[in-house]
Amino acid sequence: MKVAINAIEYYLPSKTEDGSNLKEQNPDWRIDDIQAKTGINIRRISAPNETAADMAVLAAEKLLYSKVDIEDVDFLVFVTQSPDYLLPTSACILQDRLGLKKSCMAFDVNLGCSGFVYGLAIGGALIEAGIARSGLLICSDTYTKYIDQDDRTCRPLFSDGAAAAYLTSSTYETLGPFEMGTDGSGFNNLIVPSGGARSFELNERKLSMAGSNVFMFTMDMVPKCVDALLAKAKLNIDEIDLFVFHQASKLVIDNIIRRLELPEEKVFTNYQDIGNTVSASIPIALSDVENAKRLNNGDQVMLVGFGVGYSWGGCIVHWNSGA
Protein backbone atom coordinates (compact mmCIF):
# COMPACT_ATOMS: atom_id res chain seq x y z
CA MET A 1 0.00 0.00 0.00
CA LYS A 2 1.11 3.56 -0.72
CA VAL A 3 0.06 4.41 2.81
CA ALA A 4 2.32 5.62 5.60
CA ILE A 5 2.19 5.66 9.38
CA ASN A 6 2.90 9.38 9.52
CA ALA A 7 3.09 9.74 13.31
CA ILE A 8 2.26 7.91 16.54
CA GLU A 9 1.61 9.26 20.01
CA TYR A 10 0.51 7.43 23.14
CA TYR A 11 -0.85 7.95 26.62
CA LEU A 12 -0.31 5.89 29.78
CA PRO A 13 -2.20 6.44 33.04
CA SER A 14 -0.16 7.95 35.87
CA LYS A 15 -1.03 5.25 38.42
CA THR A 16 1.36 2.30 38.44
CA GLU A 17 1.51 -1.08 40.15
CA ASP A 18 4.59 -3.19 40.76
CA GLY A 19 5.41 -6.42 42.53
CA SER A 20 5.19 -4.86 45.97
CA ASN A 21 1.57 -3.88 45.36
CA LEU A 22 0.71 -7.40 44.24
CA LYS A 23 2.50 -8.93 47.25
CA GLU A 24 0.79 -6.60 49.71
CA GLN A 25 -2.66 -7.63 48.49
CA ASN A 26 -1.76 -11.28 47.84
CA PRO A 27 0.81 -12.35 50.49
CA ASP A 28 0.91 -15.94 49.22
CA TRP A 29 2.07 -14.95 45.72
CA ARG A 30 5.70 -15.72 44.84
CA ILE A 31 6.37 -12.38 43.19
CA ASP A 32 9.94 -13.13 42.13
CA ASP A 33 8.79 -16.20 40.23
CA ILE A 34 5.89 -14.30 38.63
CA GLN A 35 8.10 -11.43 37.49
CA ALA A 36 10.77 -13.80 36.17
CA LYS A 37 8.10 -15.43 34.02
CA THR A 38 6.26 -12.33 32.83
CA GLY A 39 9.23 -9.97 32.69
CA ILE A 40 6.82 -7.19 33.64
CA ASN A 41 7.98 -4.95 36.48
CA ILE A 42 5.49 -2.08 36.21
CA ARG A 43 1.92 -1.87 34.91
CA ARG A 44 -0.27 1.17 34.29
CA ILE A 45 -3.71 1.35 35.89
CA SER A 46 -6.48 3.65 34.67
CA ALA A 47 -8.28 5.76 37.26
CA PRO A 48 -11.69 4.49 38.41
CA ASN A 49 -13.51 7.10 36.32
CA GLU A 50 -11.06 6.93 33.37
CA THR A 51 -12.29 5.01 30.32
CA ALA A 52 -10.66 3.77 27.14
CA ALA A 53 -12.28 6.69 25.30
CA ASP A 54 -10.83 9.16 27.82
CA MET A 55 -7.36 7.74 27.22
CA ALA A 56 -7.94 7.77 23.46
CA VAL A 57 -8.68 11.49 23.59
CA LEU A 58 -5.43 12.18 25.45
CA ALA A 59 -3.37 10.16 22.97
CA ALA A 60 -5.07 11.67 19.92
CA GLU A 61 -4.78 15.24 21.19
CA LYS A 62 -0.99 14.89 21.16
CA LEU A 63 -1.24 14.38 17.39
CA LEU A 64 -3.91 16.97 16.75
CA TYR A 65 -2.13 19.71 18.68
CA SER A 66 1.29 19.20 17.12
CA LYS A 67 1.43 17.03 14.00
CA VAL A 68 -1.99 16.84 12.33
CA ASP A 69 -4.34 19.38 10.76
CA ILE A 70 -7.73 18.45 12.17
CA GLU A 71 -9.44 19.24 8.86
CA ASP A 72 -7.38 16.54 7.15
CA VAL A 73 -8.80 13.72 9.29
CA ASP A 74 -11.26 11.81 7.08
CA PHE A 75 -11.76 8.76 9.30
CA LEU A 76 -11.39 7.59 12.87
CA VAL A 77 -10.99 3.86 13.49
CA PHE A 78 -11.18 3.07 17.21
CA VAL A 79 -9.89 -0.35 18.24
CA THR A 80 -11.14 -1.26 21.71
CA GLN A 81 -12.68 -4.03 23.77
CA SER A 82 -13.46 -1.60 26.59
CA PRO A 83 -16.13 0.65 25.05
CA ASP A 84 -17.78 3.33 27.14
CA TYR A 85 -21.19 1.86 26.30
CA LEU A 86 -22.61 -1.21 24.58
CA LEU A 87 -24.05 1.37 22.21
CA PRO A 88 -23.47 3.91 20.75
CA THR A 89 -20.08 3.25 19.24
CA SER A 90 -17.29 4.99 21.14
CA ALA A 91 -15.77 6.32 17.90
CA CYS A 92 -18.80 8.55 17.41
CA ILE A 93 -18.26 10.00 20.87
CA LEU A 94 -14.58 10.54 20.06
CA GLN A 95 -15.43 12.40 16.84
CA ASP A 96 -17.31 14.96 18.90
CA ARG A 97 -14.85 15.15 21.79
CA LEU A 98 -11.90 15.65 19.44
CA GLY A 99 -13.76 18.24 17.36
CA LEU A 100 -13.37 16.32 14.11
CA LYS A 101 -15.41 17.46 11.13
CA LYS A 102 -18.85 15.90 10.70
CA SER A 103 -17.89 14.45 7.32
CA CYS A 104 -15.38 12.21 9.18
CA MET A 105 -16.39 8.55 9.21
CA ALA A 106 -15.97 6.97 12.64
CA PHE A 107 -16.42 3.38 13.79
CA ASP A 108 -15.23 0.89 16.40
CA VAL A 109 -13.34 -2.35 15.80
CA ASN A 110 -13.78 -4.91 18.58
CA LEU A 111 -10.41 -6.62 18.52
CA GLY A 112 -7.67 -7.10 21.08
CA CYS A 113 -4.00 -7.85 20.58
CA SER A 114 -4.21 -8.14 16.78
CA GLY A 115 -6.24 -4.94 16.51
CA PHE A 116 -3.52 -2.52 15.43
CA VAL A 117 -2.55 -4.63 12.43
CA TYR A 118 -6.21 -5.04 11.45
CA GLY A 119 -6.67 -1.30 11.87
CA LEU A 120 -3.72 -0.62 9.58
CA ALA A 121 -5.29 -2.85 6.93
CA ILE A 122 -8.67 -1.13 7.26
CA GLY A 123 -7.34 2.43 7.34
CA GLY A 124 -4.88 1.69 4.56
CA ALA A 125 -7.62 0.22 2.39
CA LEU A 126 -9.78 3.33 2.85
CA ILE A 127 -6.90 5.51 1.65
CA GLU A 128 -5.89 3.18 -1.20
CA ALA A 129 -9.50 3.04 -2.43
CA GLY A 130 -9.71 6.83 -2.53
CA ILE A 131 -12.45 6.91 0.09
CA ALA A 132 -10.24 8.93 2.43
CA ARG A 133 -7.01 10.89 2.23
CA SER A 134 -5.87 10.39 5.82
CA GLY A 135 -7.21 9.39 9.20
CA LEU A 136 -6.68 8.37 12.81
CA LEU A 137 -6.21 4.81 14.03
CA ILE A 138 -6.62 4.76 17.81
CA CYS A 139 -6.12 1.71 20.05
CA SER A 140 -7.17 1.90 23.70
CA ASP A 141 -8.20 -0.57 26.38
CA THR A 142 -8.77 -0.73 30.13
CA TYR A 143 -8.49 -4.46 30.76
CA THR A 144 -7.49 -3.83 34.38
CA LYS A 145 -11.07 -2.85 35.16
CA TYR A 146 -12.11 -6.43 34.36
CA ILE A 147 -9.52 -8.18 36.54
CA ASP A 148 -9.99 -9.46 40.09
CA GLN A 149 -7.44 -8.43 42.69
CA ASP A 150 -6.46 -12.07 43.31
CA ASP A 151 -6.32 -13.17 39.66
CA ARG A 152 -2.79 -14.56 39.44
CA THR A 153 -3.08 -15.26 35.69
CA CYS A 154 -4.25 -11.88 34.40
CA ARG A 155 -3.32 -9.25 36.95
CA PRO A 156 0.50 -9.48 36.64
CA LEU A 157 0.21 -9.07 32.85
CA PHE A 158 -2.35 -6.54 31.73
CA SER A 159 -1.92 -2.79 31.68
CA ASP A 160 -3.99 0.15 30.45
CA GLY A 161 -2.94 2.51 27.69
CA ALA A 162 -3.85 4.20 24.42
CA ALA A 163 -2.03 4.93 21.18
CA ALA A 164 -3.04 7.10 18.23
CA ALA A 165 -1.53 6.72 14.76
CA TYR A 166 -2.00 9.12 11.85
CA LEU A 167 -2.25 7.34 8.51
CA THR A 168 -1.69 9.23 5.25
CA SER A 169 -1.17 8.52 1.59
CA SER A 170 2.44 8.10 0.50
CA THR A 171 4.48 8.33 -2.68
CA TYR A 172 6.15 5.07 -1.63
CA GLU A 173 4.85 1.57 -0.99
CA THR A 174 5.47 1.55 2.75
CA LEU A 175 2.77 -0.72 4.16
CA GLY A 176 2.17 -4.40 3.45
CA PRO A 177 1.77 -7.17 2.65
CA PHE A 178 -0.55 -8.42 5.38
CA GLU A 179 -1.20 -11.87 6.82
CA MET A 180 -4.24 -12.30 9.07
CA GLY A 181 -6.35 -15.11 10.45
CA THR A 182 -8.90 -16.26 12.98
CA ASP A 183 -9.63 -19.39 15.01
CA GLY A 184 -12.86 -18.72 16.85
CA SER A 185 -12.84 -22.17 18.46
CA GLY A 186 -10.63 -20.63 21.16
CA PHE A 187 -12.99 -17.75 21.93
CA ASN A 188 -13.63 -18.86 25.52
CA ASN A 189 -9.96 -19.05 26.52
CA LEU A 190 -9.68 -15.27 26.91
CA ILE A 191 -13.07 -13.81 27.65
CA VAL A 192 -15.22 -11.45 29.70
CA PRO A 193 -18.30 -13.71 29.78
CA SER A 194 -20.81 -11.17 31.05
CA GLY A 195 -22.20 -7.93 29.69
CA GLY A 196 -23.27 -9.02 26.22
CA ALA A 197 -26.62 -10.27 24.92
CA ARG A 198 -25.73 -13.94 25.48
CA SER A 199 -24.99 -13.38 29.16
CA PHE A 200 -27.17 -10.43 30.09
CA GLU A 201 -28.19 -12.11 33.34
CA LEU A 202 -24.63 -11.89 34.72
CA ASN A 203 -23.78 -8.72 36.58
CA GLU A 204 -20.03 -8.85 37.22
CA ARG A 205 -17.68 -8.34 34.30
CA LYS A 206 -14.49 -10.25 35.01
CA LEU A 207 -11.75 -11.30 32.66
CA SER A 208 -10.98 -15.00 32.44
CA MET A 209 -7.94 -16.44 30.69
CA ALA A 210 -6.86 -20.05 30.19
CA GLY A 211 -3.21 -19.07 30.09
CA SER A 212 -1.72 -22.37 28.95
CA ASN A 213 -4.21 -22.67 26.07
CA VAL A 214 -3.51 -19.12 24.90
CA PHE A 215 0.23 -19.80 25.12
CA MET A 216 -0.03 -22.96 23.04
CA PHE A 217 -2.10 -21.14 20.42
CA THR A 218 0.55 -18.42 20.25
CA MET A 219 3.43 -20.85 19.86
CA ASP A 220 1.57 -22.62 17.07
CA MET A 221 0.23 -19.68 15.09
CA VAL A 222 2.84 -16.91 15.37
CA PRO A 223 5.61 -18.85 13.57
CA LYS A 224 3.10 -19.85 10.87
CA CYS A 225 2.00 -16.22 10.50
CA VAL A 226 5.61 -15.04 10.22
CA ASP A 227 6.44 -17.69 7.61
CA ALA A 228 3.33 -16.92 5.55
CA LEU A 229 4.02 -13.18 5.69
CA LEU A 230 7.62 -13.67 4.57
CA ALA A 231 6.41 -15.77 1.65
CA LYS A 232 3.94 -13.06 0.60
CA ALA A 233 6.64 -10.39 0.85
CA LYS A 234 9.18 -12.60 -0.96
CA LEU A 235 11.65 -12.00 1.85
CA ASN A 236 13.95 -14.18 3.92
CA ILE A 237 13.68 -13.85 7.66
CA ASP A 238 17.18 -12.36 7.90
CA GLU A 239 16.07 -9.51 5.62
CA ILE A 240 13.76 -8.20 8.35
CA ASP A 241 15.60 -5.48 10.24
CA LEU A 242 13.34 -5.38 13.30
CA PHE A 243 10.46 -7.43 14.73
CA VAL A 244 7.80 -5.72 16.84
CA PHE A 245 5.54 -8.35 18.35
CA HIS A 246 2.54 -7.78 20.58
CA GLN A 247 4.08 -7.22 24.00
CA ALA A 248 2.41 -10.20 25.66
CA SER A 249 5.10 -11.16 28.19
CA LYS A 250 8.72 -12.26 28.48
CA LEU A 251 7.68 -15.93 28.39
CA VAL A 252 5.81 -15.49 25.13
CA ILE A 253 8.34 -13.34 23.31
CA ASP A 254 11.33 -15.39 24.49
CA ASN A 255 9.69 -18.51 23.11
CA ILE A 256 8.85 -16.82 19.81
CA ILE A 257 12.50 -15.83 19.52
CA ARG A 258 13.52 -19.41 20.26
CA ARG A 259 11.04 -20.98 17.85
CA LEU A 260 11.98 -18.65 14.98
CA GLU A 261 15.70 -18.61 15.88
CA LEU A 262 15.74 -14.81 15.84
CA PRO A 263 18.66 -12.66 16.98
CA GLU A 264 17.51 -11.01 20.21
CA GLU A 265 18.82 -7.64 19.05
CA LYS A 266 16.30 -7.70 16.19
CA VAL A 267 13.31 -8.04 18.54
CA PHE A 268 12.13 -4.88 20.28
CA THR A 269 10.52 -5.15 23.72
CA ASN A 270 9.18 -2.60 26.17
CA TYR A 271 6.77 -4.73 28.22
CA GLN A 272 9.11 -4.51 31.22
CA ASP A 273 7.93 -1.09 32.40
CA ILE A 274 4.63 -0.83 30.52
CA GLY A 275 2.99 -4.26 30.64
CA ASN A 276 0.61 -5.81 28.15
CA THR A 277 -1.58 -2.97 26.83
CA VAL A 278 -3.53 -5.24 24.43
CA SER A 279 -4.27 -3.48 21.10
CA ALA A 280 -2.09 -0.49 22.03
CA SER A 281 1.04 -2.54 22.66
CA ILE A 282 2.38 -2.59 19.08
CA PRO A 283 1.89 1.14 18.31
CA ILE A 284 3.35 2.08 21.71
CA ALA A 285 6.36 -0.13 20.97
CA LEU A 286 6.68 1.29 17.46
CA SER A 287 6.65 4.82 18.85
CA ASP A 288 9.37 3.89 21.33
CA VAL A 289 11.39 2.32 18.50
CA GLU A 290 11.24 5.57 16.55
CA ASN A 291 12.09 7.70 19.59
CA ALA A 292 15.08 5.44 20.30
CA LYS A 293 16.26 5.97 16.72
CA ARG A 294 16.47 2.25 16.15
CA LEU A 295 15.43 2.48 12.48
CA ASN A 296 16.80 3.94 9.26
CA ASN A 297 15.02 4.70 6.02
CA GLY A 298 14.73 1.52 3.99
CA ASP A 299 14.56 -0.78 7.01
CA GLN A 300 11.90 -3.45 6.96
CA VAL A 301 9.89 -3.94 10.14
CA MET A 302 7.58 -6.85 10.83
CA LEU A 303 4.60 -6.22 13.13
CA VAL A 304 2.73 -9.24 14.54
CA GLY A 305 -0.27 -9.14 16.87
CA PHE A 306 -1.97 -12.21 18.35
CA GLY A 307 -4.34 -13.20 21.11
CA VAL A 308 -7.97 -12.86 22.16
CA GLY A 309 -10.40 -14.29 19.63
CA TYR A 310 -8.27 -16.21 18.73
CA SER A 311 -7.10 -13.63 16.21
CA TRP A 312 -3.75 -12.83 14.64
CA GLY A 313 -2.32 -10.42 12.12
CA GLY A 314 1.05 -9.43 10.75
CA CYS A 315 2.35 -6.89 8.26
CA ILE A 316 5.56 -5.45 6.88
CA VAL A 317 6.30 -1.75 7.31
CA HIS A 318 8.89 -0.42 4.87
CA TRP A 319 10.35 2.32 7.02
CA ASN A 320 10.54 5.75 5.43
CA SER A 321 10.44 8.69 7.82
CA GLY A 322 9.77 11.06 4.93
CA ALA A 323 6.82 9.10 3.57
Q: Tens digits of per-residue pLDDT, 199-215? A: 665 556 789 899 999 99
CATH number of 175-318: 3.40.47.10
Maximal CA-CA distance, the chain: 58
| pLDDT recorded at residue 204 | 66
Alpha-helix residue ranges (DSSP H) falling in the chain = 19-25, 31-38, 52-64, 90-97, 115-128, 211-233, 250-260, 281-291
Peptide bond into 283 cis (omega under 30): no
Task: Encode burial over 124-139: b for 16+ CB neighbours within 10 A, e otherwise.
Answer: bebbeeeebebbbbbb
Q: Which residues pair with 243 in a beta bridge?
A: 267, 302
More confident residue, 187 or 323: 187
The per-residue pLDDT for range 55-113, each reduced to its tens digit, is: 999 999 999 998 899 999 999 999 999 999 989 999 999 999 999 999 999 999 999 99
pTM: 0.95
| pLDDT recorded at residue 130 | 96
Q: What is the set of active-site residues?
A: 113, 246, 276
The per-residue pLDDT for range 145-189, each reduced to its tens digit, is: 999 999 999 999 999 999 999 999 999 899 999 999 999 999 999
Instruction: Note whether 117 and 304 are within 8 A (CB).
Output: yes
**Rounded CA gap, 199 and 208, in Å?**
14
The domain spans of the chain are 3-169, 175-318
**Confidence tier at 197 by pLDDT (50, 70, 90):** confident
CATH superfamily assigned to domain 3-169? Thiolase/Chalcone synthase (3.40.47.10)
Same fold, 3-169 and 175-318: yes
Beta-strand pair 311-318/175-182: antiparallel
| pLDDT recorded at residue 93 | 98
